[in-house]
Amino acid sequence: MHTLKLTNSKQDIQTAGKLLKDGELVAIPTETVYGLAADALNGEAVANIFKAKGRPMDNPLIVHIADLSQVDDLVAFVPPVLEDLAKAFWPGPLTVILEKSELIPDEVSAGLDTVAIRMPSHPVARAIIKAAGTPLAAPSANTSGMPSPTTAAHVMHDMDGRIAAVVDGGPCEVGVESTVLTLCTRVPRILRPGRVTPEDLFDVLGDVEVDDAVLGQLAQGAVAASPGMKYKHYSPKAEVYIVDGSAEGFAKLVNEKDPATTAALVFDGEESLVECRTLPFGAEDDSLGQAEHLFDDLRKADELGVTDIFVRCPSAEGVGLAVMNRLLRAAEFRIIEVD
């Protein structure tokens, strides 16, 4: 299959919409990461997403809408709190889990009786949903297990020849996937952290929990509230290690490694401390900047052809919780303590 490269022109957006309506797969930009979209109400088209990504069939997808009125048909009932959440965070990087309606194909919900819904804020994503005239199921547009794509070039690297088209909307602003919040527990619970922080949600909900799996490792045999959390994730080919401690302690550890096979993800301004190749991923106190650059840097480190990537341990406060959550999975929970 030849993968069409589309721009964000009106005409190309119409083309993308038509392809989607016809049951094809199209990668689309969103404010978080690029999504691999299909008509959410077409089970056959959605099944092809899993094939293109090599995604396990038991990991459900997020349904993307452009207008709040689209929610009604997709869910069994709309809890009153959804209105407050929508007012505060939609359109934007928040996904909400609700009880699903019969319209949702099993391929989307992976056999669960719930569905994940999000209204993206990216103008191109919204225009494509409208052009398709249907809600779009879309996971991140990476090969399963790889870092999520934050540029159209990342998408092409993973998906060229496997999907009908990719729409280039420029680099993604947020850089990590949406916050996933379930409203199906007694107290609303964050299953995956993102740009919308626990503090942001607390302000609207008055009460919110963070699932243990966000920073912890799922115990063997335990059932994941969000199936995506049980898989190795966001991993480049090289082994990733988080190093917790001072910049000097980090440099001492990394400078003992072979610079030919080692790369370091450092905070801005620390490049000169380290002898191997460095990729700055944001200032130490800038979680937003770190979120924006993390996946791109992990992919870049892989392109250097190194076998080991050492990463300065970020703060897990605010949006930092999302950065740490992704990094822990990329590193398979390996943390090295230094002075």
- Residues in touch with Mg ion (CB under 5 A): 140
Contact partner, 52, from Mg ion, ligand TXA, none, Cβ < 5-8 Å per class: none
Amino acid code (one letter) for 233: H
Contact partner, 296, from ligand TXA, Mg ion, none, Cβ < 5-8 Å per class: none
DSSP classification of residue 73: H
For helices 320-330 and 287-303, angle between their N-to-C axes, nearest 10 degrees: 20
Bridge-based pairing state of the strands 4-6 and 209-210: unpaired
**Least gap, CB of 227 to ligand TXA (angstroms):** 4
Contact partner, 189, from ligand TXA, Mg ion, none, Cβ < 5-8 Å per class: none
The angle formed by the CA atoms of residues 139, 164 and 56, to the nearest 5 degrees, is: 35
Cis amide linkage into residue 91, ω under 30° from 0:
yes
Cβ proximity to Mg ion: between 60 and 280 the closer is 60
**Least gap, CB of 80 to Mg ion (angstroms):** 30
What's the rounded Cα separation, in Å, for the pair 226 and 211? 10
Cβ proximity to Mg ion: between 19 and 138 the closer is 138
- Torsions phi, psi for 304 (to 5 deg): -70, -15
**Least gap, CB of 222 to ligand TXA (angstroms):** 15
Cβ proximity to Mg ion: between 281 and 295 the closer is 295
Cβ proximity to Mg ion: between 90 and 295 the closer is 295
What's the rounded Cα separation, in Å, for the pair 306 and 316? 27
Contact partner, 123, from ligand TXA, Mg ion, none, Cβ < 5-8 Å per class: none
**Least gap, CB of 7 to Mg ion (angstroms):** 25
**Least gap, CB of 140 to Mg ion (angstroms):** 3
Cβ proximity to ligand TXA: between 146 and 274 the closer is 146
Contact partner, 35, from Mg ion, ligand TXA, none, Cβ < 5-8 Å per class: ligand TXA
Residue 332 CB neighbour total at 10 angstroms: 13
**Least gap, CB of 166 to ligand TXA (angstroms):** 13
Residue 219 CB neighbour total at 10 angstroms: 8
- From 75, 99, 96, select the one nearest 194 (Cα to Cα): 96
What's the rounded Cα separation, in Å, for the pair 21 and 129? 10
Contact partner, 121, from Mg ion, ligand TXA, none, Cβ < 5-8 Å per class: none
Cβ proximity to Mg ion: between 55 and 293 the closer is 55
Contact partner, 319, from Mg ion, ligand TXA, none, Cβ < 5-8 Å per class: none
Cβ proximity to Mg ion: between 140 and 150 the closer is 140
User: Can you tell me whether residue 42 is helix, strand or coil?
Assistant: coil
**Least gap, CB of 192 to ligand TXA (angstroms):** 6
What's the rounded Cα separation, in Å, for the pair 80 and 243? 44
| H or E, element range at 39 | strand 35-39
- From 227, 193, 210, select the one nearest 108 (Cα to Cα): 227
Binding site for ligand TXA (CB under 6 A): 30, 32-33, 35, 59-62, 93, 95, 97, 109, 112, 114-116, 118, 120, 138-140, 177-178, 180, 191-192, 226-228
